[in-house]
């Protein structure tokens, strides 16, 4: 990997007068300023330099250390002093005439439209990136981010097919299933729910709503109350700034639902739209496009990120740690893969999101307590066949990164269950997860602890559609066949709306 820069330092007058000083600085630069901070011999190198009428023209190369754009700044600083003092020659600015990065690669880049990259040429195992950057971009590390982006693409194989990591952790003993229908089909037949007007959207009647609330109450009674989780309300319209701090801004775009405000509340401004509708009974979507503002962010996606706004920039007293909170205040929205799925994969879903933060050992301990409670719920109350697997952390997958986290403590445990109607080889369904997210969010949102110890956090998403899909797929729709505790909590079947 090599950086190359052909730059010219613009001077206020002919630099020839300072030739001697310049020569001295150039001669020793590689052993001093251009190698500071680099392992021996790995600093930046001066390939050539010459004096123009009103410029000092320099060619630099470098590897990963003292990259050419940092090197040229150091040279500029070292030259400015003597030229200014002794010869009254000022350095007016810096122009990058040629800036290239060559990266070893086994294939060409699919998407070549990268900001500040003029061209991408692939030949015999090397990608040559030609950049178009100015002093400002060089100062705020744009070339470094371009290199990181390209190296990540090389690593991911550049086609975004994230190799999902999966390691079995635990599996419950087998159960025979007395039901093998598709519960969504059955629920539609029984009128328990109806498809909403939106893509992947459902309207839940009294029965499935009651079931959601029964599951929610089990989580409250068996986990949240005994373990002391406090309920909070996290925002459900998520601003870009939140997703910049959480990392979602790196990759959420294909799957989020965008939110745009009106350009103004002034009714006059909207009169033509309203008139158009009143006359045509069609919503003039084309007209709307001109009248709404830019997207300010999107609908709730991961549910926990906006909670960090509550802690952002704060130092938390030791006595308040570990913090254990949860939110169930609204829906999550994802533009899921096409095709009509049952209630197990929807665009609008209902989740209880648990979040906990504290020192590393507090977070690890809290996670273990949570895992034990879930074990009890799925084995002793919901009577499920299920398993747990160690997978690519959800926050990496949502940033388009595959693999697993650096240490084997940080990561996501997926809870999965078979849906009998999919058959013995059918894909199991992830119905919830538990994650130790390490330092990611306290760092991302600049949250400190009184003791100065690194803060860690974890989160767990309980998907109510998923719990319902798994529970009904395994136990069927007849409450007579449900585990006793669920039957008791469910009570008498709510009266059904009768459609003629």
Ligand X SMILES: Nc1ncnc2c1ncn2[C@@H]1O[C@H](COS(=O)(=O)NC(=O)[C@@H](N)CO)[C@@H](O)[C@H]1O
> In the complex, which residues of this chain contact ligand X (CB under 6 A)?
302-304, 334, 336, 345-346, 349, 351, 353, 394, 430-433, 459, 461, 463, 465-466
- Taking the least distance from each CB to ligand X, the nearer of 322 and 463 is 463
Q: Tell me if residue 290 is catalytic.
A: no
- Least Å distance between CB 361 and ligand X? 22
* Binding footprint of Zn ion, residue count (CB under 5 A): 2
- Binding span for Zn ion by CB under 5 A among 82-90, 284-292, 406-414, 451-459: 451-459
Residue 345 contacts which entry, ligand X, Zn ion, none (Cβ below 5-8 A, type-dependent): ligand X
Q: Annotated catalytic residue: which of 336, 365, 399, 439? A: 336
Q: Is 155 designated active site?
A: no
Q: Judge whether 175 counts as a catalytic residue.
A: no
282: annotated active-site residue: no
| Phi-psi region at 247: left, alpha or beta (left = phi > 0; alpha = psi -120 to 50) | left
Instruction: Tell me the closest approach of the beta carbon of residue 477 to Zn ion, in angstroms.
Output: 31
Among 147, 346, 391, 459, binds Zn ion (CB under 5 A): 459
Residue 300 designated active-site = no
Tell me, yes or no, if 336 is annotated catalytic: yes
Nearer to ligand X, 153 or 440 (CB): 440
Q: Is 433 a catalytic residue?
A: yes
User: Binding partner of residue 416 among Zn ion, ligand X, none, CB under 5 to 8 Å per kind?
Assistant: none
For position 304 contacting Zn ion by CB under 5 A, the verdict is yes
Smallest gap from residue 444 Cβ to Zn ion (A): 13
How many other C-beta atoms lie within 10 A of the C-beta of residue 355?
26
- The reply on whether position 462 binds Zn ion by CB under 5 A is no
The residues, any chain, with a CB within 8 Å of residue 3's CB and separated by 6 or more, are: 60, 61, 62, 63, 67, 68, 69, 99, 100, 101, 143
Per-residue x/- track, 43-72, Zn ion (CB under 5 A): ------------------------------
- Point out which residues pair with 64 in neighbouring strands: none
Q: How far is the CB of 417 from ligand X (least distance, A)?
A: 11
459 is catalytic: yes
| Catalytic site includes residue 199 | no
Among this protein's residues, is 345 annotated catalytic?
A: yes
CB of 197 to ligand X, least distance (A): 18
In the set 67, 74, 327, 433, the catalytic residue is 433
CB of residue 426 to ligand X, shortest distance in Å: 17
Partner interacting with residue 350 (select from Zn ion, ligand X, none; CB below 5-8 Å by kind)? none
Active-site amino acid positions: 304, 334, 336, 345, 353, 414, 430, 433, 459, 466
Residues of this chain that bind Zn ion (CB under 5 A): 304, 459
């Amino acid at each position: 990997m090599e950086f190359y820069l052909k730059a010219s330092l613009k001077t206020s007058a002919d630099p020839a007068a300072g030739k001697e000083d310049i020569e001295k600085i150039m001669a020793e630069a590689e052993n001093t300023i251009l190698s500071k901070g680099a392992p021996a011999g790995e600093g930046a190198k001066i390939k050539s330099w010459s004096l123009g009428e009103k410029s000092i023209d320099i060619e630099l190369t470098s590897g990963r250390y003292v990259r050419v754009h940092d090197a040229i700044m150091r040279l500029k600083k070292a030259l400015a002093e003597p030229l200014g003092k002794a010869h009254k020659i000022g350095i007016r600015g810096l122009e990058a005439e040629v800036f290239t990065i060559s990266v070893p690669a086994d294939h060409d880049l699919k998407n070549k439209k990268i900001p500040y990259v003029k061209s991408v040429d692939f030949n015999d195992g090397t990608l040559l990136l030609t950049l178009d950057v100015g002093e400002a971009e060089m100062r705020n590390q744009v070339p470094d981010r371009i290199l990181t982006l390209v190296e990540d693409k090389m690593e991911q194989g550049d086609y975004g097919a994230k190799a999902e990591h999966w390691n079995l952790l635990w599996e419950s003993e087998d159960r025979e299933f007395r039901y093998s229908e598709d519960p969504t089909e059955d629920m539609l037949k029984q009128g328990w729910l109806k498809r909403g007007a939106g893509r992947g959207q459902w309207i839940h009647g009294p029965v499935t709503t009651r079931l959601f609330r029964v599951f929610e109450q089990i989580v409250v009674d068996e986990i949240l109350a005994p373990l002391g989780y406090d309920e909070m309300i996290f925002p459900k319209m998520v601003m870009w700034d939140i997703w910049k701090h959480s990392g979602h801004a790196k990759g959420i775009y294909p799957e989020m639902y965008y939110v745009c405000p009106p350009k103004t509340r002034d009714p006059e401004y909207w009169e033509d739209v309203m008139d158009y509708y009143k006359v045509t009974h069609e919503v003039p979507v084309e007209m709307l496009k001109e009248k709404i503002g830019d997207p300010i962010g999107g609908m709730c996606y991961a549910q926990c990120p906006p909670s960090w706004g509550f802690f952002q920039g704060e130092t938390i007293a030791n006595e308040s740690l570990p913090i254990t909170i949860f939110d169930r205040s609204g829906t999550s929205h994802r533009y899921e893969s096409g095709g009509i799925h049952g209630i197990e994969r929807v665009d609008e879903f209902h989740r209880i999101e648990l979040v906990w933060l504290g020192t590393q050992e507090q977070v690890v301990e809290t996670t273990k307590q949570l895992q034990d409670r879930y074990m009890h719920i799925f084995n002793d109350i919901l009577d499920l066949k299920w398993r747990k697997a160690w997978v690519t952390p959800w926050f990496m997958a949502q940033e388009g990164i595959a693999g697993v986290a650096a240490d084997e403590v940080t990561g996501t445990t997926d809870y999965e269950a078979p849906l009998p109607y999919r058959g013995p080889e059918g894909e199991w369904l992830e119905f919830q997860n538990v994650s130790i997210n390490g330092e990611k969010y306290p760092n991302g949102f600049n949250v400190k602890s009184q003791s100065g110890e690194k803060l860690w956090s974890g989160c767990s998403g309980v998907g109510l559609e998923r719990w319902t899909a798994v529970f009904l797929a395994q136990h069927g729709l007849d409450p007579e066949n449900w585990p006793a505790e669920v039957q008791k909590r469910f009570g008498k079947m709510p009266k059904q709306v009768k459609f003629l």
